[in-house]
Amino acid sequence: MSEPDPRSHLFAKARRGAFARNALIVTSGKGGVGKSTVSVNLASAFAQRNWRVGLLDADVYGPSIPRMLQLEDERLEWNERDRIVCAENFGIKVMSVGMTTPTPDTPLIWRSSVATSAMVQLLDDVDWGELDLLLIDMPPGTGDTQLTMTQELQLTGALVVTTPQQVATDDVRRAIRMLLEVKVPIAGLIENMSPMIDRVTGNRFAPFGEGGGKLLAEQYKLPLLAEIPFDADLRVSADAGTPLMISGTAEQKKPFETIVDRLLASGLLRLPA
């Protein structure tokens, strides 16, 4: 994909997002909290319920979704209608700027306006087909990409990911305030890297502290959808390119299934036709 023109015309809001019955951004304001891990496993959890799921990796400068789904060697292809073909694995349609570069380690040295235009191009030029759910894995921060996605897309809502410690919740507060200001419904909070129970000794460990997600939920009157325990298997599954929703135990899958259940119970999502 050539460098997009930052002056290119943004297509109408009514058109954007029309291919998906629901569009959820997974955001935080903070890097390193596990947004991509949550996005991949939630996409898999919905796909296992026979939802037609798309996953857009909106982190232009650090795209990690392809590796997490064994798609790091995929490169762009076009169909007979001159639309970009989605990569697909585990029943999830995937698109990422990481698939546009000559090699996986090629950096994209773009200004923010160009990066934002690239995201618009991936939404407009990709043949997503008809989706029940489009999940968008957002980059850290509250900048141009976040503004474009929240203001121009027909978003169903936002899922906000945090970890328990205060250094993360400080940044997450800013993301929440941004979402409130641009009037994007917040579907709920997800605390990742929560305290864990050692499977051998039964001892409880909190390497990243505890209570941050609950505190944010109480402060902003938001639902805390799940607390995902710190688990080395999440890291292993991400590096192997197989979501924990595929390879994990019933206990490991439970937090993601709980998120899906609570989202469905909220009435926010439009069910598949």
Task: Dump pLDDT digits (tens) for 4-32.
Answer: 443 333 333 334 445 899 999 999 988 88
CA distance 24 to 136: 6
At residue 18, the pLDDT reads 58
Q: What is the DSSP letter of 86?
A: P
With CA atoms as reference, report the closest residue to 172 among 34, 23, 68: 34
Q: Is the dihedral of CA 142, 144, 146, 151 positive or negative?
A: positive
Name the residue with higher pLDDT: 160 or 121. 160
Kindly give the pairing relationship between strand 126-127 and strand 186-194: unpaired
Give the chain's domains with CATH numbers: 23-266 (3.40.50.300)
Separation in Å, CA 215 to CA 120, 166, 218, 219, 220: 35, 10, 5, 6, 9
DSSP string, 152-207: HS---EEEEEE-SSHHHHHHHHHHHHHHHHTT--EEEEEEEEE-EE-TTT--EE-T
Q: What is the mean pLDDT of the chain?
A: 88
Give the residue-averaged pLDDT of 237-264.
96
How far apart are the C-alpha atoms of 140 and 156, rounded to whole Å?
20
Q: 88 vs 107, which has greater pLDDT?
A: 88
Q: Which residues are within 8 A (CB) of 221 and not within 5 positions of it... i.e. 6 or more apart? A: none
What mean pLDDT is predicted for residues 202-228? 92
Asked if residue 212 lies in contact with residue 164, where contact means CB atoms within 8 angstroms, the answer is yes
pTM: 0.90
Count of beta carbons in the 10 Å neighbourhood of residue 228: 27
Which residue, among 217, 244, 242, 224, has the nearest Cα to 233 in the 3D structure?
244
- Contact call for residues 30 and 188 (beta carbons, < 8 A): no
Q: Which of 5-14, 52-61, 162-171, 229-238 shows the lowest mean pLDDT across its residues?
A: 5-14
pLDDT given at position 11: 31
Comparing CA positions, the residue from 42, 25, 38 lying closest to residue 123 is 25
Taking 90 as the threshold, does the pLDDT of residue 271 lie above it? yes
Q: Are the CB atoms for 258 and 122 separated by under 8 Å?
A: no
Percent of the chain surpassing pLDDT 70: 93
pLDDT band at 76 (very low <50, low <70, confident <90, very high): confident
pLDDT digits (tens, 9 = 90+) for 130-180: 999 999 999 988 788 888 888 778 899 999 999 999 889 999 999 999 999
> How far is the C-alpha of 53 from the C-alpha of 46, rounded, in Å?
7
**Which pair of structure tokens corresponds to residue 187?**
């579907």
Is the predicted pLDDT of residue 259 greater than 70, yes or no? yes
